[in-house]
Structure 1
Amino acid sequence: MRVEVHHRCSDFNTYRAARVKSLFNAEDGTRFDHTADLDIDDGNWKLGVVVGPSGSGKTSIGTRLWGEEHIYTPDGQWPDDAPIVDAIAPGGSFDAVTAALGQVGLGDVPSWLRPYRVLSNGERFRADLARIIAETPDRVVIDEFTSVVDRQIARVGAQAFAKAWRRTPGQAVLLSCHYDILDWLQPDWVYDTAAGSFTRGWVQRRPPITVEVREGGWDLWPLFEPHHYLKAGPMPGARCYVGFIDGEPVVHLGVSTQYVNLGKRGQSIEARACRMVVMPEWQGAGVGMRFLNHVCELQRQGKGRLPGRRMTTVFHTSHPQLCAALRRDPKWRQVSAALHGVHKTRSARSITSTKRKNGLSGFTGDSAGYGGHFRAVQGFRYVGLPKEHNQ
């Protein structure tokens, strides 16, 4: 495919225009021409990138590929009086919308409940990508890709979008002035407007992500708490595992222990993991699941919360995308699924009874008790891979 760009404008001869021509020996500013030869006619590709400096013709090339109607723009797409979880694919399924939000790294659940206009630039960037993933157009061109976000969010967001987009049947062309996202995107082809070069396939490997795991107390929880989908404080009797990338804390998990009733075999102890949070700028990079599996494997090998004691680990969550990821992972088994909380009155009576047994008078359960909500809590147990997988 040959794409030709020709722009023309008037030759102005004002005082300032004439002085600029004289100072910089610029005789003619009326013409812009660019011809791009793109070897993409076979259609055997999913993701392409046009990259180059500003003013080098990227937008014009993108417009001429399939027509201006295929260029995505957020203008008019987002209502001011609806949260983004309602605005994305209104006729689609809830699971598909939340899956798209999770796939592009917008896993910060409170942001799902806000209108697009109040989101940060990074959140808007990912919300736009989630909308494109959920609505799955056959062809789409995304201009100024990653231009309005910092480079960390740009790289991780690029990786998350590329992974999610390859699961759709469509073709996407990204227009960007940033070369640092190419290794993270791993596109099927790249056209560089500065060099005028076309590359089919991207052979550079994606940069590795090294996570340093440290065990400690709850001193770093205030950094992560605003991004947790529940209002919950530290777990009683738990220790924390925190993952650091280049010295910055990016992922958090609390681990405690609990007794397990084995029936006639008595009781045993297993680990209980909770309060997992991945910082927004790293959501979508796959850090969370790898970190969770690593910490749970430490417990299984006796190198965790109780040194020398081998334990399985249970983990409960309401996050639909995390639940789906745990079900796909062969190292996990689902053990429970409660679609709503227990009866609140029964819970209140149990609390009252316990208080009285402990000699605490004047306590009534009328205003206490847990449950009655519609939060679908799902439970999973980490069992590790079967022996044949480890050989």
Structure 2
Amino acid sequence: MRVEIHHRCDDFNTYRAARVKSLFNAEDGTRFDHTADLDIDDGNWKIGIVVGPSGSGKTSIGSRIWGPEHLYTPDGRWPDNAPIVDAIAPGGSFDAVTAALGQVGLGDVPSWLRPYRVLSNGERFRADLARIIAETPDRVVVDEFTSVVDRQIARVGAQAFAKAWRRTPGQAVLLSCHYDILDWLQPDWVYDTSTRTFTRGWVQRRPPVTVEIRQGGWELWPLFEPHHYLKAGPMPASSCYIGLIDGEPVVHLGVGTMAVNLGKHGTGIEARACRLVVMPEWQGAGVGMKFLNYVCELQRQGEGRLPGNRMTTVFHTSHPQLCAALRRDPKWRQVSASLYGGHKGKSAKAINAGPSGRGHGKGQPVRSGYGGHFRAVQGFRYVGPTKENTPR
């Protein structure tokens, strides 16, 4: 495919224009010409990128590849009086929309309940990507890709979008002035407008990410709490694992222990994990699941919260994308699923009947227990690598 760009404008002869021509020997500012040879006619690709400095013809090239109607723009797509979870693919399924939001790293559930106009630039960027993923056009061109967000969000967002888009049947051309996303995006082809060179395939490896893991208390929870999908305080009788990248805390998990009934074998101890939070700038990079699996493997090996005690770990969540990820992972087994919370009356009865309950002469009995919500909570147990789920 050959794309030829020829832009023309009037030759102005005002005082300032004439002085600029004289000072800088710029005799003609009326012409812009660019010819791009793109070897993409075979259609055997999913993601291409046109990259180069501002003013080098990227938008013009993108609008000529399939026509301007395929150039994505947020204008007119986002209503002012509806949350983004309603605005994205309104005729589609709830699971598909929330999956798209999770796939591009917009896992902050409270942001799903806000209209597009009040989101931050980083959230808007990911919301636009989620909309493209959910609506799955056959062809789409995205201008100013990652231009309005900080570089960390840009790199992780590029990786998250590429991973999600490759699951769709469509083709996407991205237009960007930033070269730092190429290794994270891993495009099928690259056209550089500054050198006018076309490259099929991207052979550079994605930069490695090293996560340092520390165990401690709940002192960093206020940093992560605004990004947790529930209003929940610290987990009682537990400690925390924190993952840091370049010294910055990016992922959090609380781990406690509980007694379990082993039937004829008596009782045992099992770990209980909760409050898994990944900071927004790292959502979509796959850090959360790898971190969760690593911490749960520590418990299984007896190197966790109770050193020397080998424990399985149970984990409960109602986040639909996290549930789906846990079901896909062969190291996990689903052990429960409830469409709503437990009966408050039964909970209150159990509290009063306990050895420290108020039914033992310690004040007025409680009248309402825990539960009663309509949150679909699902439970999973980490079983670790086995002969059946370990690749050969």
Tell me the TM-score range normalised by the shorter chain. Answer: over 0.9
C-alpha separation between the residues in 2 aligned to 1:343 and 1:183?
51
C-alpha separation between the residues in 1 aligned to 2:274 and 2:71?
42
In the alignment, does 2:281 pair up with 1:281?
yes
1:66-85 equivalences under 5 Å are: 66-85=66-85
Q: Which residue of 2 aligns with 1:356?
A: 358
* Deviation string, structure 1 residues 66-93 (Cα, Å, up to 9, x no partner): 1111000000000111110000000000
In the alignment, does 2:273 pair up with 1:305?
no
C-alpha separation between the residues in 1 aligned to 2:248 and 2:131?
30
In the alignment, does 2:301 pair up with 1:315?
no
How far the C-alpha of 1:27 sits from its partner, in A, is 0.2
C-alpha separation between the residues in 1 aligned to 2:349 and 2:306?
34
Q: Which residue of 1 aligns with 2:191?
A: 191
How far the C-alpha of 1:385 sits from its partner, in A, is 1.1
In the alignment, does 2:261 pair up with 1:251?
no
Q: Which residue of 2 aligns with 1:228?
A: 228
Q: Any idea what SS the aligned residue of 2:5 has?
A: strand
Letter aligned with residue 378 of structure 2: Q
In the alignment, does 2:57 pair up with 1:57?
yes
C-alpha separation between the residues in 2 aligned to 1:364 and 1:200?
69
Give structure 1 stretches of 5+ with no counterpart.
none
Please report the TM-score for the alignment, with normalisation by the length of structure 1.
Answer: 0.98
Letter aligned with residue 258 of structure 2: Q
C-alpha separation between the residues in 1 aligned to 2:154 and 2:360?
55
Letter aligned with residue 362 of structure 1: Q
Letter aligned with residue 358 of structure 2: R
1:99-118 equivalences under 5 Å are: 99-118=99-118
Letter aligned with residue 247 of structure 1: G
Q: Any idea what SS the aligned residue of 1:198 has?
A: strand
| Greater CA drift, 231-240 or 192-201 | 231-240
Letter aligned with residue 315 of structure 2: F
Task: Determine if contact 2:50/2:58 at 8 Å carries over to the other structure.
Answer: yes
In the alignment, does 2:90 pair up with 1:90?
yes
Task: Determine if contact 2:299/2:311 at 8 Å carries over to the other structure.
Answer: yes
Letter aligned with residue 321 of structure 2: Q
C-alpha separation between the residues in 1 aligned to 2:117 and 2:351?
44
C-alpha separation between the residues in 1 aligned to 2:88 and 2:149?
21
C-alpha separation between the residues in 1 aligned to 2:143 and 2:362?
65
* Deviation string, structure 1 residues 76-111 (Cα, Å, up to 9, x no partner): 000111110000000000000000000000000000
Q: Any idea what SS the aligned residue of 1:259 has?
A: strand
Q: Which residue of 1 aligns with 2:143?
A: 143
C-alpha separation between the residues in 1 aligned to 2:218 and 2:361?
32
Q: Which residue of 1 aligns with 2:37?
A: 37
* Deviation string, structure 1 residues 243-301 (Cα, Å, up to 9, x no partner): 00000000000000001111121111010000110000000000000000000000000
Q: Which residue of 2 aligns with 1:372?
A: 372
* Deviation string, structure 1 residues 139-160 (Cα, Å, up to 9, x no partner): 0000000000000000000000
C-alpha separation between the residues in 1 aligned to 2:133 and 2:188?
18
Q: Any idea what SS the aligned residue of 1:64 has?
A: helix
C-alpha separation between the residues in 2 aligned to 1:384 and 1:215?
21
Q: Any idea what SS the aligned residue of 1:241 has?
A: strand
* Deviation string, structure 1 residues 11-68 (Cα, Å, up to 9, x no partner): 0000000000011110000000000000000000000000000000000000000111
How far the C-alpha of 1:390 sits from its partner, in A, is 7.6
C-alpha separation between the residues in 1 aligned to 2:370 and 2:235?
16
Q: Which residue of 1 aligns with 2:204?
A: 204
How far the C-alpha of 1:236 sits from its partner, in A, is 1.0
How far the C-alpha of 1:348 sits from its partner, in A, is 2.9
Letter aligned with residue 344 of structure 1: K
Q: Which residue of 1 aligns with 2:271?
A: 271
How far the C-alpha of 1:353 sits from its partner, in A, is 4.0
Aligned length: 389
Q: Any idea what SS the aligned residue of 1:174 has?
A: strand
C-alpha separation between the residues in 2 aligned to 1:364 and 1:246?
48
Task: Determine if contact 2:58/2:175 at 8 Å carries over to the other structure.
Answer: yes
Please report the TM-score for the alignment, with normalisation by the length of structure 2.
Answer: 0.98
* Deviation string, structure 1 residues 313-368 (Cα, Å, up to 9, x no partner): 00000100000000000000000000101222332333344433443223441xx3
Q: Which residue of 2 aligns with 1:262?
A: 262
TM-align CA RMSD: 1.1
C-alpha separation between the residues in 2 aligned to 1:390 and 1:329?
13
Letter aligned with residue 36 of structure 1: A
Q: Which residue of 2 aligns with 1:173?
A: 173
In the alignment, does 2:345 pair up with 1:345?
yes
C-alpha separation between the residues in 2 aligned to 1:390 and 1:54?
46
Letter aligned with residue 347 of structure 2: S
